[in-house]
Structure 1
Amino acid sequence: MYERKLAVNLNCGLDLIAEVLYGKWKIRLLWFINEGYLRPSELQRKIPAASRRVLNIQLNELEAHGLVGKTIFPVLPPKVEYNLTDFGKTLIPVIAALGKWGDDHEERLRKVILGH
């Protein structure tokens, strides 16, 4: 299991949200679960650049933080579905606002990111 090298800094709301959402795919996972992609295989198809292992780790972290719930169906092979908790649903407007900001400033952000 991962062990932190630095102490957690939780001095303000930005520190708290960074701690919960830190991870390359977490925001996308929350968004896609909200859109109805509930099975791990569906999420993997929506985010093909992410390995299954990393997605599982980040889904487990989101679950540990109370943002997603996991249902395991008693069938063979096992079937798993994720859902947003009520707490997780409160992040969707925030994620939508961030996405809109990115869309509104797409050209400028691409230039900055790509170094043009």
Structure 2
Amino acid sequence: MKRLNSKSGCAVEVTLSVMGGTWKPIVLFHLLHGTKRFSELARAIPNVTQRMLTLQLRELEEAGIVARTVYAEVPPRVDYALTDMGRSLEPVLTAMRDWGLGYSQTQGEEQERLQVQSVQARCVA
């Protein structure tokens, strides 16, 4: 598992060491909606490789954020769900989603404004 003692003394560093990166927040966000099988997560996050998804789930399990349940069936079935500690990340994850939506909208408006200016500049010349 990644370090729990931060070099900077900042708790944000600890949080990022547990749930940071490209894929972990996305995996956690999908698990907010309930228990998922590996294949469901893989379909929900199409750009993640199977190896990377497995690695991220193992790290989250080791950190006590995700619980893995293996069923003795043929074929074997494995479910992933948030633990209570994982569920406590819900406000953080929804705040990240909301911020991302707002940022995307702002950046989209800025890109639109720049395109209009560019077209206007070409029309003036």
TM-score tier (shorter): 0.7 to 0.9
Separation of aligned partners in 2, 1:108 and 1:17: 27
Answering whether residue 76 of structure 2 is matched by residue 61 of structure 1, we say no
> How do 1:21-100 residues align onto structure 2 when only pairs under 5 Å count?
21-36=19-34, 38-100=36-98
Identity across the alignment (%): 36
Change in CA separation of 1:42 and 1:10 when aligned onto 2, cut-off 3 Å: farther
Match of 2:120 in 1: none
Compute the displacement of 1:43 (Å): 0.2
Separation of aligned partners in 1, 2:30 and 2:8: 28
Q: Which has the larger radius of gyration?
A: 2
- Per-residue CA deviations over 1:86-112 (Å, capped at 9, x if unaligned) read 000000111101111111121345669
Change in CA separation of 1:102 and 1:69 when aligned onto 2, cut-off 3 Å: same
Q: TM-score, normalised by structure 2?
A: 0.77
Name the SS for the 1:69 alignment partner.
strand
Q: CA RMSD in A?
A: 2.3
Q: TM-score, normalised by structure 1?
A: 0.82
Separation of aligned partners in 2, 1:100 and 1:51: 26
- Indicate the larger mover: 69-78 or 21-30: 21-30
CA contact (8 A) 1:70 1:80 kept: yes
Residue type matched to 2:45 in 1?
Answer: I
Residue type matched to 2:89 in 1?
Answer: L
Separation of aligned partners in 1, 2:104 and 2:93: 16
* Stretches of structure 1 lacking an aligned partner (at least 5 in a row): 1-7
Name the SS for the 2:27 alignment partner.
helix
Name the SS for the 1:50 alignment partner.
coil
- Per-residue CA deviations over 1:22-44 (Å, capped at 9, x if unaligned) read 22110011111111351000000
Separation of aligned partners in 1, 2:8 and 2:75: 41
- Indicate the larger mover: 20-29 or 61-70: 20-29
Match of 1:19 in 2: 17
Aligned residue pairs: how many?
108
By percentage of residues, which structure has more helix?
2
